[in-house]
Chain A
Amino acid sequence: MSGGARWGLYGRYLLVIVLGLVWLAPTYLVLVNAFRKSTEYTGTGLWKPSGDFALFGNLAKAWDAADLGSGITSTLLYSVVAPALAAIVGALAGYAITVLRLRHGFLWFIVIYGCTTFPGQMLLEPLFTGYADTQLYDTRIGLILVYVAVDVPLAAFVMRNFFMGASRSVFESGLVDGANPFTIFWRIYLPMCRTALAAIFVLEFTFVWNDFLFGLVLSQSTDVRPLMTSVATLSNAYAGNTVPVILTGGLFVSLPTIALFIATQKLFARGLTLAQL
């Protein structure tokens, strides 16, 4: 390696490491201050570790203040059930359009996928008033319905692309064996696309877990309200929580998606490519 190339290599390492440290600084700050005793937070020396170990005490305070227990139960329900349902519903549509060759299938596909261009703000008012009129406001069913509907277009898009590449002979031999189209879907096609299904599930789990806006508009009671909406109220100036408590809350609700991301990084990346290309 020539001298110039070697210095180029050192330069690359240096730049990436410096930028990486900048990117880690917020995490460092969160950890340092989440471990700090809530009562000893004075707003000074924020960058210095305190030597306290008040993390769990802070978590208990955040837990009570924002009722994180109920938030976790309902958010876990939303972010598991809605993406799973959406994946199956979307896969059914993709299967009907490609394998069963639904008449005007492409048009139906455009109908399902076209609504991804709507900004969420166009949905909020009618969903709010409509939910109030139909007793769906502030119910878990209501939130699940919205999350499924929002997740379906992506699932249908990915599964349609996936099934277009799948061989049709599988379907025909299934027919010869006397199976009906749904059995063929459920027994053969759905298991065939396990990885793609898992990839969109991971992606949409993260989306639903991290949702703030739909929860804000469509719920109010602590046992329906999703986690992020609860955490936002924790940080509200009027709630009077101290910085260590607020940061601990923010850290805590982020751990599940960070863990999922690390565990399924390849799948996550695959989901992203499937969703975009």
Chain B
Amino acid sequence: MSQEVLTHDADVAAAGPRVRGRTRLRHQWWSHGMVAPSVLLVAGLLYLPFLWSLYLSFTHYDGTGSPKWAGLANYHALWDDPVLTTTLRNTAYWVVGTLVLPVGLGLLIAVLTYQLKGGTWLRLPFLLPYAISGTATAVVWGFILGDHGAINSLLSALHLPGGHVSLLQNAPLNTIVMVLAQTWQSIGVNILLFVIGLQSIPRETLEAARVDGATGWTLFRQVIWPLLRPLTAVVVGLALVAGLKTFDLVWIMTQGGPGRSSETLSVTMYRDAFVGNDYGYGAAVAVLLTVVGLLVSALYLGRQAAPKREFDVTGGGR
């Protein structure tokens, strides 16, 4: 960067050293003014709240008056809370589920429709739900999965077993079926990204591989998959984040119930803070969610960084 500054200075140098210094100074003034709105917005509405939440997690606070310092009391209480196991287990289901299903199925559909005549149209049913909100998804799937809902009534009509099983009332079945609902909604973004990745593979690479006799599974395994790897990293990262922050769907479909059996960390935080008015405790759950997020990212990035160079023989890619 400093090198670029030098060339820029050389351009302005024609105007003489005094002007050059003044111009650069003036540009710094302008540039500070222009970066300021962004910095002020994120500082005031994102950083400050973040730090305040961190502080609140060490206090007792019910939202009125002022927070009272409590040390690690909230964290101790959280550790002893029987709901912690449930919510952590459900969060794990969500992370693993949104990783395997939307990403795996998304890749499958992208590859199946790749270079298929009419592929764009065949993909559309999968893409559209992505434009729909978590709220609308919850409304629709609440009707499908609820007691006497569409699934129950279909199973009964076909005289299949399960017509009387309450899909949303039994744990961990309720979490599993909600992950399926999320899969329905979120698969589109993965397909879209995988299709972009597939389209960026040079035709010559594929032709060359075909000439060498690679077709079907071999072609995918040996040529396409390695070239998709950088993109897969992005898609998987996105899915991890989406799985961790699941809230709308669960809150609207089960409110974390019955009991607290389908809560995820996001739901537990919301319930403790805004239903239970225990802000210190809610903040501690939010901090735990942040830590889990950082751990998952660190694990994932660590795996990504591990060398997998043997695939690079095909060259090209992006």
Interface residues of A (CB under 8 A from B): 5, 8-9, 12-13, 15-17, 19-21, 23-24, 26-27, 29-30, 33, 43-47, 89-90, 92-93, 95-97, 100-103, 105-106, 108, 111-112, 115, 117-130, 145-146, 148-150, 152-153, 156, 168, 172, 175, 180-182, 185, 206, 209-213, 217, 228-229, 231-232, 234-235, 243, 246-247, 249-251, 253-254, 257-258, 260-262, 265, 268-269, 272-273, 276-277
Contacts and interface: CB of A to CB of B under 8 A. Distances in A.
A105 B294 CA distance: 25
Given A126-B50, A172-B11, A234-B139, 10 more contacts: A101-B5, A115-B50, A123-B50, A123-B53, A125-B282, A152-B38, A182-B34, A257-B131, A272-B189, A273-B193
Given A231-B136, A261-B127, A276-B193, A124 B270 contact: yes
B27 interface: yes
Contacts of B105: 19
16 contacts: A23-B126, A27-B125, A27-B128, A30-B143, A46-B149, A47-B154, A100-B31, A118-B50, A122-B289, A175-B23, A210-B134, A212-B252, A235-B252, A254-B132, A262-B128, A272-B196
Interface in B140-172: 140-144, 148-150, 153-154, 157
B35 A102 contact: yes
Contact of A261 (B128, B157, B187, B294): B128
A257 B63 contact: no
A96 B30 contact: yes
A214 to B, nearest CB: 11
Interface of B: 1, 4-5, 8, 11, 23, 27-28, 30-35, 37-39, 41-42, 44-50, 52-54, 56, 63, 105, 109, 112-113, 116, 122, 125-136, 138-144, 148-150, 153-154, 157, 184, 187, 189, 192-193, 195-196, 215-216, 234, 238, 244-245, 247-248, 251-252, 265-266, 269-270, 273-274, 279, 282-283, 285-287, 289-290, 293-294, 297
Chain A at the B interface: SS class: helix
B305 to A, nearest CB: 18
Contacts of B30: 96, 100, 180-182
A122 B53 contact: yes
A254 B286 CA distance: 30
A149 B46 CA distance: 7
Contacts of A122: 49-50, 53-54, 286-287, 289-290
A19 B111 CA distance: 14
Contact of B28 (A27, A103, A272, A277): A103
A90 B56 contact: no
Contacts of B274: 124, 128, 217
A111 B126 contact: no
Nearest to B38: A93
Nearest to A228: B135
A262 B293 CA distance: 33
B129 A23 contact: yes
A33 B269 contact: no
A273 B230 CA distance: 13
Contact of B139 (A15, A213, A246): A246
A261 B139 contact: no
B31 A206 contact: no
A113 to B, nearest CB: 9
A272 to B, nearest CB: 6
Contacts of B140: 26, 29-30, 247, 250
Given A43-B148, A118-B46, A92 B34 contact: yes
Contact of A115 (B37, B46, B109): B46
Contacts of B193: 272-273, 276
A95 B45 contact: no
B50 A247 contact: no
Nearest to A234: B139
**Most chain A Cβ neighbours within 10 Å, of B32, B131, B141:** B131
Nearest to B45: A149
